[in-house]
Amino acid sequence: MEQKLDTLKAKLKEIKNINDAVAVLSWDQQVFMPSGGATARAEQLATLSKLAHEMFISDEVGELLSDLSEVNSDYDSDAASMVRVACRDYEKARKLPPDLVEEMSRTFSLGQQTWMKARAEKDFSQFQEILEKIVDLNIQMAEAYGYDESIYDALLDQYEPEMKTEHVAKVFAELKTELVPLVQAIVENKDVVDNSILKQEYDETTQWGFGLIPLQAIGYDMRRGRQDKSAHPFTISFSVNDVRITTRVYKDQFGPALFGTLHEGGHALYEQNVAPELEGTILASGTSLGIHESQSRLWENVVGRSKSFWQFYYPNLQKFFPNQLKDVSLDSFYQAINKVKPDFIRVEADEVTYNLHIFLRFELEQELLTKRLKVADLPDAWNAKMEEYLGLTPPDDAMGVLQDIHWSGGSIGYFPTYTLGNILSLQFYNQILQDIPDLPEQFARGEFEALLDWFREKIHRHGRKFTANELINRVTGAKSIEAGPYLSYVKEKYSEIYKL
């Protein structure tokens, strides 16, 4: 058995090496590739994706897994977890024909290039045709996976295993009931918070330089990663020891670059802190996107937009930007970075309205997959929902339906994980505060190690060993996601800021 396990590990490592190469090619595609390289890159990605898929769904892997599945005694052990997770992946992967995998890879890669150009030129019509193909391929994929109730379940399961659309819809409805009136109340009191100090000229290089300070302070290891610029910020991992992030910097605004950096830094901390002994195995990454987003949203918001964080960093920031901030008090700054304002762009949205952007996408995705909505009508549908949830009509497609990279890269069913992450971040944080009550005081001293250690011990080091629900249960005692802690946090924080 020992020998079979070694054979399986070697085989899975080979497959992981190919998938890691795919990640390097994707990173380059989004960060540095010249436009001329798009077609060849799509072919390279398609070949590698198909190869990795074929190797994984081979009978050889199937037989090894079947032989090994009988002996996984200790549930928590590395070996048993590897076999368990590989079996789950294998059963899913077997359902996808290699030609579909190749075609998806090629189309999603070209989709991103098409989207970049369409977005730059604010023109949805350039993107429509390939998006139609992307939606169609996602439907084919969902049909291949199969599902009981909703076609959306099959896609959601790729990003958030075990989670059902119905459950997400229920939790989202619960949030909506409380968030929509909260946003209305805030809008009525909107003049309480003025964030015009953030909308000045902030030198890009100086912003970049400042961002590196908290990024490294929260524990991001630059020897095992790097930060670059890209059209859409993201985190990507080629190894536990090579986890990269990107950000974007606006010269006329303070906020997006820094909070984006903390967000991606949160993702990266998860990937960098998977146990070293899991490196190169199928377990060496985050277990679900919801758990991943709980990390990124926690560092970005619960930590990065907290008063105590800025008690430590604000004097330093004032030194970086004396002209802009020297006469601005910490309280005014804290209020400014927490201004709630219905706006167009999801990634730059405040904590409260952020979820409304997600509801919109979650609903539109379901309509596309069930063909109640045509891709051609998507911009209108988008704008209608923006009006409904946020009271706004985007001035152009770049500020509306073209703002996110996800659909262009083939990811449908991904967006809900952001709000799941928001919810989870507070479920975890409430637990942490019970274990380490003086955490805010630590932040105020610029100390983040205890928080990172806690996450490393409870979540990061396990990689994919446990499912999201298993982790939630082990860490908090709850069975799954619960909206309560997040709603309490949002209501308390923003009632204070907006004097509601």
Residues at the site binding a second copy, with contacts judged by CB under 8 A: 13-14, 17-18, 20-21, 24-25, 28, 32-37, 39-41, 43-44, 46-48, 51, 221-226, 228, 238-242, 244, 279-280
- What are 108's strand-pairing partners? none
Nearer to a second copy, 33 or 452 (CB): 33
- Written as one letter, the residue type at 242 is D
Nearer to a second copy, 46 or 364 (CB): 46
**Minimum distance from residue 414 beta carbon to a second copy (Å):** 25
β-pairing verdict for 242-247 and 235-239: antiparallel
| Torsion angle, alpha carbons of 230, 284, 271, 164, to 10 | 80
- What are 228's strand-pairing partners? 246
Q: What six digits make up the tokens of 46?
A: 């398609």
CB 19 within 8 A of CB 284: no
- Residue from 264, 271, 300, 365 carrying the catalytic annotation: 264
Backbone angles phi, psi at 110, to 5 degrees: -65, -35
Q: What is the largest CA-CA distance in the chain?
A: 69
Query: Closest by alpha carbon to 379, among 398, 356, 406, 355?
Result: 398
**Minimum distance from residue 463 beta carbon to a second copy (Å):** 15
Backbone angles phi, psi at 396, to 5 degrees: -155, 175
Q: What six digits make up the tokens of 125?
A: 């019509």
**Minimum distance from residue 260 beta carbon to a second copy (Å):** 20
Q: Using CA atoms, how far apart are residues 343 and 491, in angstroms rounded to an integer?
A: 20
Cα end-to-end span (Å), the chain: 64
Nearer to a second copy, 242 or 365 (CB): 242
**Minimum distance from residue 27 beta carbon to a second copy (Å):** 8
**Minimum distance from residue 395 beta carbon to a second copy (Å):** 29
Nearer to a second copy, 271 or 397 (CB): 271
Q: Using CA atoms, how far apart are residues 16 and 239, in angstroms rounded to an integer?
A: 10
Is 264 labeled as catalytic in the residue annotation?
yes
DSSP 229: E
Nearer to a second copy, 238 or 429 (CB): 238
**Minimum distance from residue 117 beta carbon to a second copy (Å):** 12
Query: Closest by alpha carbon to 337, among 499, 329, 449, 112?
Result: 329
Nearer to a second copy, 223 or 326 (CB): 223
Query: Closest by alpha carbon to 422, among 474, 349, 367?
Result: 349
Active site residues: 264
